[in-house]
Copies of this chain bind each other. A is one copy, B any other.
């Protein structure tokens, strides 16, 4: 019940361990196509270019950034936690000129703040935001901001690592141009793949690049031929076959439950956890909390490491510590996908009461 990897259902583990088959085997090709179709449903998009990058979540960020932007481009990054800061680092690696909009860790951005930075940097090609900041639990509303960016003609990049499968991520309705996520959070699949989706407008921008993408493995132009190629599928790399088995099954479970029912379950479990945490005197960090990631201040005088290792040793429960400037100051309790159950909520509360004594 930490910040991920979250618990993986047995069905997904069984799918993961099916005998490995060739990546050119017709059976696998069909399964990969089906996985991409299911991803579109979960991202709520018709984007043809929706697929799992063959690496972990941070690779999704690198893939999106390095394809959509090129050296010399300007971009705005909204930073209110570790992963916003990561986006700045990754962009700078690719020679992108970054305009930062900083906010206190744990806060969210208002539409006005974003409108202001957009007007100050009209030549920025894209604005990037973290929908679900795993380091603080902040939940950033996107709909209004996205509408405004769309009207300004600015591309919108979204980090949905900790929201996809737990909170609505409306790629089409919100006009998101490029979004990335990871399998080990609310999709309840082991880490190893980074689902991404690019809008047709984003694909056009990529096709009009002045220079080729500055890396080969994440080059969407080539990956597009592979993932959309169907019969003419061009060999690019060998995808992680068994991880695709697992992701397909994880997505099947999500679609069986239904996205709305799943979001409702996350909301309900978050409310129950929040009520319980506040009852024992723990205070939430973010001004708008994610359901999937609950970040609370550690009460004064309490030994962070001691409590967490007692939780792990006595209860077999992992909760997360703070990252960077929040190290030692917060705990992060995940309610992600398969883990967001009443039994888990009640157990983590009971365990916390015991370990805080």
Contact = CB atoms under 8 A, between A and B. Distances in A.
Given A56-B240, A216-B90, A25 B191 contact: no
Interface string A1-36: 010110110000110111111111100000000000
B59 A217 contact: yes
Interface in A214-245: 214-219, 235-243
Contact of A59 (B55, B184, B191): B55
A289 interface: no
Interface string A102-129: 0000000000000000000000000000
Contacts of A209: none
A128 to B, nearest CB: 14
> Which range contains the number of A residues in contact with the other chain?
35 or more
A89 interface: yes
What is the interface of chain A mostly: helix, strand, loop, or mixed?
loop
A140 interface: no
A57 interface: yes
A192 B93 contact: no
Contacts of A184: 20, 238, 241
A318 interface: yes
A242 B21 contact: no
B13 A19 contact: yes
A212 interface: yes
Given A13-B17, A214-B214, A239 B59 contact: no
A340 B214 CA distance: 39
A349 interface: no
A15 to B, nearest CB: 9
A45 interface: no
A213 interface: yes
B215 A93 contact: yes
Contacts of A212: 93
A190 B20 CA distance: 6
Contacts of A94: 214-215
B243 A240 contact: yes
A238 B17 contact: no
A151 to B, nearest CB: 31
A235 B55 contact: no
Q: Identify which of A55, A66, A217 gathers the most chain B CB atoms within 10 Å of its CB.
A: A217
A259 interface: no
Q: Identify which of A54, A90, A95, A318 gathers the most chain B CB atoms within 10 Å of its CB.
A: A54
A338 B42 CA distance: 38
Contacts of A304: none
Contacts of A192: 54, 192, 240-243
A57 B212 CA distance: 22
Interface of A: 2, 4-5, 7-8, 13-14, 16-25, 54-59, 61-62, 66, 86, 89-90, 93-95, 182, 184, 190-192, 212-219, 235-243, 246, 312, 318, 323
Interchain residue pairs A-B with the least CB separation, the first 5: A192-B240, A17-B17, A55-B55, A58-B237, A190-B242
